[in-house]
Structure 1
Amino acid sequence: MNPIKQSSFKGQATWSGLLFGIGLMALVDEIIFHQLLQWHHFYDWDTPFIGIMSDGLLNAFGLFALVAGLFMFTDLRRRSTISLRQWTSFVFIGLAGFQLFDGIINHKLLQIHQVRYNVDILPYDLAWNIFGVILLTIGLMLLYTGKRSRGSN
Protein backbone atom coordinates (compact mmCIF):
# COMPACT_ATOMS: atom_id res chain seq x y z
CA MET A 1 0.00 0.00 0.00
CA ASN A 2 1.13 3.52 -0.73
CA PRO A 3 2.78 4.97 2.46
CA ILE A 4 0.87 8.26 2.09
CA LYS A 5 -2.45 6.43 1.75
CA GLN A 6 -1.58 4.19 4.72
CA SER A 7 -0.82 7.28 6.80
CA SER A 8 -4.19 8.82 5.92
CA PHE A 9 -5.94 5.61 6.98
CA LYS A 10 -4.12 5.74 10.34
CA GLY A 11 -5.26 9.34 10.75
CA GLN A 12 -8.81 8.36 9.85
CA ALA A 13 -8.70 5.50 12.36
CA THR A 14 -7.46 7.90 15.02
CA TRP A 15 -10.18 10.46 14.33
CA SER A 16 -12.82 7.77 14.04
CA GLY A 17 -12.00 6.37 17.48
CA LEU A 18 -11.64 9.80 19.08
CA LEU A 19 -14.93 11.09 17.67
CA PHE A 20 -16.77 7.92 18.65
CA GLY A 21 -15.37 8.05 22.20
CA ILE A 22 -16.06 11.76 22.67
CA GLY A 23 -19.58 11.39 21.29
CA LEU A 24 -20.31 8.33 23.41
CA MET A 25 -19.15 9.98 26.63
CA ALA A 26 -21.05 13.19 25.80
CA LEU A 27 -24.24 11.16 25.37
CA VAL A 28 -23.64 9.09 28.52
CA ASP A 29 -23.05 12.29 30.50
CA GLU A 30 -26.11 13.96 28.99
CA ILE A 31 -28.45 11.01 29.49
CA ILE A 32 -27.34 9.98 32.99
CA PHE A 33 -26.35 13.21 34.74
CA HIS A 34 -28.45 15.77 32.87
CA GLN A 35 -31.66 13.88 32.16
CA LEU A 36 -32.05 10.89 34.49
CA LEU A 37 -30.38 12.22 37.66
CA GLN A 38 -30.99 15.90 36.76
CA TRP A 39 -27.85 16.94 38.66
CA HIS A 40 -27.01 19.77 36.28
CA HIS A 41 -27.39 21.22 32.78
CA PHE A 42 -24.54 21.85 30.39
CA TYR A 43 -24.87 25.57 31.17
CA ASP A 44 -26.37 26.24 34.60
CA TRP A 45 -25.97 29.98 35.08
CA ASP A 46 -29.08 31.21 33.29
CA THR A 47 -32.76 30.33 32.98
CA PRO A 48 -33.99 26.72 32.89
CA PHE A 49 -34.80 27.29 29.20
CA ILE A 50 -31.14 28.10 28.45
CA GLY A 51 -30.01 25.12 30.56
CA ILE A 52 -32.23 22.71 28.64
CA MET A 53 -31.28 24.29 25.30
CA SER A 54 -27.58 23.87 26.19
CA ASP A 55 -28.29 20.20 26.97
CA GLY A 56 -29.90 19.84 23.54
CA LEU A 57 -26.81 21.32 21.89
CA LEU A 58 -24.59 18.90 23.82
CA ASN A 59 -26.85 16.04 22.73
CA ALA A 60 -26.62 17.14 19.10
CA PHE A 61 -22.83 17.44 19.32
CA GLY A 62 -22.53 14.00 20.96
CA LEU A 63 -24.75 12.35 18.39
CA PHE A 64 -22.93 14.02 15.49
CA ALA A 65 -19.52 12.94 16.83
CA LEU A 66 -20.72 9.38 17.47
CA VAL A 67 -22.25 8.99 13.99
CA ALA A 68 -19.27 10.62 12.24
CA GLY A 69 -16.92 8.26 14.08
CA LEU A 70 -19.05 5.27 13.08
CA PHE A 71 -19.18 6.30 9.42
CA MET A 72 -15.40 6.64 9.36
CA PHE A 73 -15.04 3.28 11.13
CA THR A 74 -17.37 1.61 8.61
CA ASP A 75 -15.33 3.01 5.72
CA LEU A 76 -12.11 1.70 7.27
CA ARG A 77 -13.66 -1.73 7.91
CA ARG A 78 -14.91 -1.88 4.32
CA ARG A 79 -11.37 -1.24 3.11
CA SER A 80 -9.91 -3.65 5.70
CA THR A 81 -7.47 -0.96 6.80
CA ILE A 82 -8.11 -0.74 10.52
CA SER A 83 -6.62 -2.29 13.61
CA LEU A 84 -9.46 -2.84 16.08
CA ARG A 85 -7.01 -2.62 18.98
CA GLN A 86 -5.71 0.76 17.78
CA TRP A 87 -9.25 2.02 17.13
CA THR A 88 -10.40 0.86 20.57
CA SER A 89 -7.44 2.62 22.18
CA PHE A 90 -8.52 5.88 20.56
CA VAL A 91 -12.13 5.29 21.66
CA PHE A 92 -10.88 5.13 25.27
CA ILE A 93 -8.72 8.21 24.73
CA GLY A 94 -11.79 10.02 23.34
CA LEU A 95 -13.91 8.93 26.32
CA ALA A 96 -11.20 10.21 28.65
CA GLY A 97 -10.73 13.41 26.67
CA PHE A 98 -14.37 14.35 27.07
CA GLN A 99 -14.44 13.34 30.74
CA LEU A 100 -11.30 15.28 31.66
CA PHE A 101 -12.22 18.32 29.54
CA ASP A 102 -15.61 18.42 31.23
CA GLY A 103 -14.18 17.89 34.72
CA ILE A 104 -11.25 20.29 34.48
CA ILE A 105 -12.25 22.93 31.92
CA ASN A 106 -16.05 23.06 32.23
CA HIS A 107 -16.35 22.35 35.96
CA LYS A 108 -13.32 24.17 37.36
CA LEU A 109 -11.90 26.71 34.91
CA LEU A 110 -15.03 27.94 33.11
CA GLN A 111 -17.40 26.93 35.94
CA ILE A 112 -20.34 26.55 33.53
CA HIS A 113 -21.69 23.76 35.74
CA GLN A 114 -20.67 21.42 38.54
CA VAL A 115 -21.14 17.66 38.75
CA ARG A 116 -23.74 18.15 41.46
CA TYR A 117 -25.05 20.95 43.64
CA ASN A 118 -25.83 21.29 47.36
CA VAL A 119 -23.34 18.57 48.35
CA ASP A 120 -19.66 18.43 49.25
CA ILE A 121 -18.29 18.66 45.69
CA LEU A 122 -14.77 17.30 46.35
CA PRO A 123 -15.69 13.56 46.24
CA TYR A 124 -17.66 14.12 43.03
CA ASP A 125 -14.82 16.07 41.40
CA LEU A 126 -12.28 13.44 42.41
CA ALA A 127 -14.44 10.56 41.16
CA TRP A 128 -15.18 12.39 37.89
CA ASN A 129 -11.55 13.15 37.10
CA ILE A 130 -10.07 9.90 38.43
CA PHE A 131 -12.49 8.02 36.16
CA GLY A 132 -11.19 10.13 33.25
CA VAL A 133 -7.59 9.28 34.15
CA ILE A 134 -8.47 5.57 34.33
CA LEU A 135 -10.06 5.73 30.85
CA LEU A 136 -6.99 7.57 29.51
CA THR A 137 -4.65 4.99 31.08
CA ILE A 138 -6.60 2.13 29.47
CA GLY A 139 -6.47 3.86 26.08
CA LEU A 140 -2.74 4.57 26.28
CA MET A 141 -1.98 1.04 27.48
CA LEU A 142 -3.94 -0.45 24.56
CA LEU A 143 -2.15 1.86 22.15
CA TYR A 144 1.28 1.14 23.60
CA THR A 145 0.83 -2.65 23.81
CA GLY A 146 -0.58 -2.67 20.28
CA LYS A 147 2.47 -0.85 18.94
CA ARG A 148 4.80 -3.18 20.84
CA SER A 149 3.09 -6.31 19.49
CA ARG A 150 3.15 -4.95 15.92
CA GLY A 151 6.83 -4.08 16.31
CA SER A 152 7.76 -7.58 17.45
CA ASN A 153 6.12 -9.33 14.49
Structure 2
Amino acid sequence: MPTIPHSTADVEQKVSARAARSAQNAWSGILFGIGLVAFLDEAVFHQLLHWHHFYDLSTPDVGLVSDGIFHAVSWFATIGGLFLFADLRRRGALFIRRWWGGVLVGAGAFQLYDGTVQHKLFGIHQIRYVPDVFIYDVVWNVTAVAMLVAGAVLLVMTRRSGAGISG
Protein backbone atom coordinates (compact mmCIF):
# COMPACT_ATOMS: atom_id res chain seq x y z
CA MET A 1 0.00 0.00 0.00
CA PRO A 2 1.45 3.38 -0.95
CA THR A 3 2.47 5.67 1.85
CA ILE A 4 1.00 9.14 2.08
CA PRO A 5 3.61 11.86 2.49
CA HIS A 6 3.26 13.76 5.75
CA SER A 7 4.84 17.05 4.76
CA THR A 8 5.49 19.32 1.82
CA ALA A 9 9.20 18.46 2.10
CA ASP A 10 8.38 14.75 1.62
CA VAL A 11 6.36 15.53 -1.50
CA GLU A 12 9.09 17.79 -2.89
CA GLN A 13 11.73 15.13 -2.23
CA LYS A 14 9.70 12.47 -4.07
CA VAL A 15 9.05 14.79 -7.03
CA SER A 16 12.76 15.66 -7.18
CA ALA A 17 13.76 11.98 -7.09
CA ARG A 18 11.25 11.14 -9.84
CA ALA A 19 12.56 14.00 -11.99
CA ALA A 20 16.13 12.74 -11.55
CA ARG A 21 15.08 9.21 -12.54
CA SER A 22 13.18 10.62 -15.52
CA ALA A 23 16.35 12.38 -16.70
CA GLN A 24 18.41 9.23 -16.07
CA ASN A 25 15.97 7.25 -18.26
CA ALA A 26 16.42 9.76 -21.08
CA TRP A 27 20.24 9.88 -20.77
CA SER A 28 20.53 6.11 -20.54
CA GLY A 29 18.56 5.81 -23.76
CA ILE A 30 20.52 8.59 -25.48
CA LEU A 31 23.89 6.99 -24.66
CA PHE A 32 22.63 3.58 -25.75
CA GLY A 33 21.19 5.02 -28.97
CA ILE A 34 24.45 6.78 -29.86
CA GLY A 35 26.45 3.63 -29.15
CA LEU A 36 24.05 1.33 -31.00
CA VAL A 37 23.90 3.40 -34.20
CA ALA A 38 27.65 4.03 -34.13
CA PHE A 39 28.22 0.28 -33.72
CA LEU A 40 25.85 -0.53 -36.60
CA ASP A 41 27.52 2.10 -38.80
CA GLU A 42 30.96 0.71 -38.04
CA ALA A 43 29.99 -2.95 -38.40
CA VAL A 44 27.85 -2.63 -41.53
CA PHE A 45 29.34 0.24 -43.55
CA HIS A 46 32.98 -0.03 -42.43
CA GLN A 47 33.52 -3.78 -41.95
CA LEU A 48 30.93 -5.69 -43.97
CA LEU A 49 30.35 -3.41 -46.97
CA HIS A 50 33.77 -1.66 -46.96
CA TRP A 51 32.09 1.58 -48.07
CA HIS A 52 34.28 3.84 -45.94
CA HIS A 53 36.41 4.17 -42.81
CA PHE A 54 35.86 6.61 -39.97
CA TYR A 55 38.75 8.69 -41.33
CA ASP A 56 39.35 8.41 -45.09
CA LEU A 57 41.73 11.35 -45.60
CA SER A 58 44.88 9.25 -45.14
CA THR A 59 46.15 5.74 -45.81
CA PRO A 60 43.99 2.59 -45.48
CA ASP A 61 46.02 1.68 -42.36
CA VAL A 62 45.11 4.99 -40.71
CA GLY A 63 41.48 4.40 -41.74
CA LEU A 64 41.54 0.98 -40.09
CA VAL A 65 43.00 2.37 -36.86
CA SER A 66 40.37 5.13 -36.86
CA ASP A 67 37.68 2.44 -37.20
CA GLY A 68 39.07 0.66 -34.14
CA ILE A 69 39.01 3.83 -32.06
CA PHE A 70 35.50 4.65 -33.30
CA HIS A 71 34.36 1.12 -32.39
CA ALA A 72 35.82 1.39 -28.88
CA VAL A 73 34.17 4.76 -28.23
CA SER A 74 30.81 3.47 -29.49
CA TRP A 75 31.04 0.56 -27.06
CA PHE A 76 31.84 2.89 -24.15
CA ALA A 77 28.63 4.82 -24.93
CA THR A 78 26.63 1.59 -25.24
CA ILE A 79 27.95 0.14 -21.99
CA GLY A 80 27.49 3.44 -20.15
CA GLY A 81 23.86 3.53 -21.27
CA LEU A 82 23.36 -0.09 -20.19
CA PHE A 83 24.87 0.57 -16.73
CA LEU A 84 22.36 3.41 -16.26
CA PHE A 85 19.60 1.12 -17.56
CA ALA A 86 20.53 -1.62 -15.05
CA ASP A 87 20.56 0.92 -12.22
CA LEU A 88 17.07 2.10 -13.21
CA ARG A 89 15.76 -1.49 -13.30
CA ARG A 90 17.34 -2.26 -9.93
CA ARG A 91 15.65 0.78 -8.39
CA GLY A 92 12.30 0.02 -10.04
CA ALA A 93 12.53 3.39 -11.83
CA LEU A 94 12.72 2.30 -15.48
CA PHE A 95 10.25 4.23 -17.66
CA ILE A 96 10.57 2.21 -20.83
CA ARG A 97 8.82 4.61 -23.21
CA ARG A 98 11.00 7.47 -21.99
CA TRP A 99 14.07 5.26 -22.38
CA TRP A 100 13.09 4.38 -25.97
CA GLY A 101 12.57 8.08 -26.66
CA GLY A 102 16.14 8.65 -25.53
CA VAL A 103 17.39 5.78 -27.72
CA LEU A 104 15.76 7.31 -30.79
CA VAL A 105 17.05 10.81 -29.97
CA GLY A 106 20.59 9.52 -29.43
CA ALA A 107 20.54 7.40 -32.59
CA GLY A 108 19.05 10.16 -34.71
CA ALA A 109 21.37 12.84 -33.32
CA PHE A 110 24.45 10.73 -33.96
CA GLN A 111 23.36 9.85 -37.48
CA LEU A 112 22.48 13.46 -38.34
CA TYR A 113 25.81 14.68 -36.91
CA ASP A 114 27.63 12.01 -38.92
CA GLY A 115 25.75 12.83 -42.13
CA THR A 116 26.12 16.59 -41.91
CA VAL A 117 29.29 17.38 -39.94
CA GLN A 118 31.55 14.42 -40.69
CA HIS A 119 30.36 13.74 -44.25
CA LYS A 120 29.81 17.27 -45.54
CA LEU A 121 31.39 19.90 -43.27
CA PHE A 122 34.64 18.08 -42.42
CA GLY A 123 34.58 15.66 -45.38
CA ILE A 124 36.44 12.98 -43.40
CA HIS A 125 34.42 10.27 -45.17
CA GLN A 126 31.34 9.79 -47.33
CA ILE A 127 28.64 7.17 -46.91
CA ARG A 128 29.75 5.56 -50.14
CA TYR A 129 32.19 6.61 -52.82
CA VAL A 130 30.03 6.66 -55.93
CA PRO A 131 29.57 9.33 -58.63
CA ASP A 132 26.19 10.46 -57.27
CA VAL A 133 26.21 10.25 -53.46
CA PHE A 134 23.17 12.57 -53.14
CA ILE A 135 20.56 9.80 -52.72
CA TYR A 136 22.70 8.16 -50.02
CA ASP A 137 22.93 11.48 -48.18
CA VAL A 138 19.18 12.05 -48.43
CA VAL A 139 18.27 8.59 -47.12
CA TRP A 140 20.87 8.84 -44.33
CA ASN A 141 19.77 12.27 -43.11
CA VAL A 142 16.00 11.76 -43.55
CA THR A 143 16.28 8.57 -41.48
CA ALA A 144 18.20 10.52 -38.84
CA VAL A 145 15.57 13.28 -38.69
CA ALA A 146 12.76 10.69 -38.47
CA MET A 147 14.45 9.02 -35.50
CA LEU A 148 15.05 12.40 -33.84
CA VAL A 149 11.44 13.49 -34.26
CA ALA A 150 10.01 10.16 -33.04
CA GLY A 151 12.32 10.21 -30.02
CA ALA A 152 11.54 13.84 -29.21
CA VAL A 153 7.81 13.10 -29.33
CA LEU A 154 8.26 10.21 -26.89
CA LEU A 155 10.39 12.35 -24.57
CA VAL A 156 7.87 15.20 -24.60
CA MET A 157 4.96 12.80 -24.02
CA THR A 158 6.70 11.28 -21.00
CA ARG A 159 8.21 14.34 -19.33
CA ARG A 160 5.39 15.52 -17.06
CA SER A 161 5.47 14.22 -13.49
CA GLY A 162 5.60 10.58 -14.50
CA ALA A 163 2.27 10.59 -16.33
CA GLY A 164 2.20 7.60 -18.61
CA ILE A 165 5.92 6.88 -18.47
CA SER A 166 5.98 3.58 -16.67
CA GLY A 167 4.72 1.46 -19.54
Q: TM-score, normalised by structure 1?
A: 0.92
Task: Give the secondary structure class of the aligned counterpart of 1:132.
Answer: helix
Which structure dedicates a bigger proportion of its chain to helix? Answer: 1
Specify the alignment match of 2:56 in structure 1.
44
User: Residue deviations 1:97-123, cap 9 Å, x none?
Assistant: 110010011001111100011330100
After superposition, where does 1:1-20 map in structure 2 within 5 Å?
2=13, 3-20=15-32
Unaligned runs of 5+ in 1: none
Identity across matched positions, percent: 47
Partner of 2:75, secondary structure, is helix
Aligned length: 151
For 2:57, give the aligned amino acid.
W
Aligned position for 1:122: 134
Question: In structure 2, do the counterparts of structure 1 residues 128 and 41 end up closer, same or farther at CA, with 3 Å as the change threshold?
Answer: same
Match of 1:81 in 2: 93
Counterpart of 1:56 in structure 2 is: 68
Does 1:104 pair with 2:104? no
**For residue 163 of structure 2, what is the amino acid of its counterpart?**
R
Cα distance in 1 for residues equivalent to 2:159 and 2:35: 25
Per the TM alignment, residue 13 of structure 1 is displaced from its structure 2 partner at its CA by 1.6
Distance in 2 between residues matched to 1:126 and 1:81, nearest whole Å:
38
Distance 2:140 2:77 in 1: 22
* Correspondences of 1:20-39 after superposition (within 5 Å): 20-39=32-51
Does residue 150 of the first structure (1) align with residue 149 of the second (2)?
no
Greater gyration radius:
2
Q: Which runs of 5+ in 2 are unaligned?
A: 1-10
| TM-score between the two structures when normalised by the length of structure 2 | 0.84
Taking the aligned partners of 1:23 and 1:34, their CA distance within structure 2 comes to: 15
